[in-house]
Amino acid sequence: LLPRNIPHKELRAPTLEEVRSLLLALATPAVFEKYLRHKRSARTSRLDPLHFVRVRVMTLHGCALAMGHAESTGLRMKWVNLASGVLTRGDRVLPRCSVAIEANHNRGQWGPPKTKSRRRILPLSEGLIDAVRTLIAQTKPGPDDAVFGTEDKPIGYSTSLRILKAAGRHAGIPWINWHSLRRLLREHKPGI
């Protein structure tokens, strides 16, 4: 039998000021490079400079749209509409400036969203549109390619978390993770 009072980590949501600091750190990876090299195995690894851009845009998506890591990495270019018109993809109609959550990418595997309610269409703000356009201009993905990766291979969870945590340590929020970014929308909705 398990004891009733099992201690667990307190779930936190970053404040808007903490997210601003985090995004600023992610915009200038050189300032937190020392945090990336804290482990012996990390000292010899080389990170693709585009990973920093990907993680920054994924952070924006996580905060603004309450998207988890698996949903962000499961996003393909064909499910992104940055145009001012309506697009039709299969049986789905994508309104202007929106993304459709149609898949997850978790532990190297593509699959459907966890529940039917997680299969949804989300509107993009101007800031998110600009961020995604900047990323697309640098990576030049095809329609079936992952938005946050190279061709059909999205950025890995450990790589993206390593960058996010390093930026978080620089920004003074070492407890940050992908799930805590999703909580921002719930806890600070009036301020967004």
Are the C-beta atoms of 69 and 88 separated by less than 8 Å?
no
**pLDDT band at residue 191, thresholds of 50, 70 and 90?**
very low
Q: Is the pLDDT of residue 189 over 80?
A: no
Tokens 């532990």 -> residue: 107
State both tokens at 139.
């990576």
The dihedrals phi and psi of 45, each to the nearest 5 degrees, come to -80, 150
CA–chain centroid gap for 157, Å, is 10
What pLDDT sits at residue 192? Answer: 43
CA distances from 192 to 19, 133, 155, 188, 189 (A): 12, 22, 27, 7, 5
Q: What is the pLDDT of residues 139-186, one digit of tens each?
A: 898 989 999 998 889 999 988 999 999 999 999 998 999 988 887 655
What pLDDT sits at residue 69? Answer: 92
**pLDDT band at residue 9, thresholds of 50, 70 and 90?**
low
The dihedrals phi and psi of 59, each to the nearest 5 degrees, come to -65, -45
**pTM score, whole prediction:** 0.83
- Across the chain, mean pLDDT equals 84
- Give 82 or 2, the one with higher predicted confidence: 82
CA distances from 158 to 3, 51, 163 (A): 32, 12, 9
Q: What CA–CA distance (Å, rounded) separates 136 from 145? A: 11
**pLDDT band at residue 84, thresholds of 50, 70 and 90?**
confident
What pLDDT sits at residue 143? Answer: 87
**pLDDT band at residue 66, thresholds of 50, 70 and 90?**
confident
What pLDDT sits at residue 40? Answer: 54
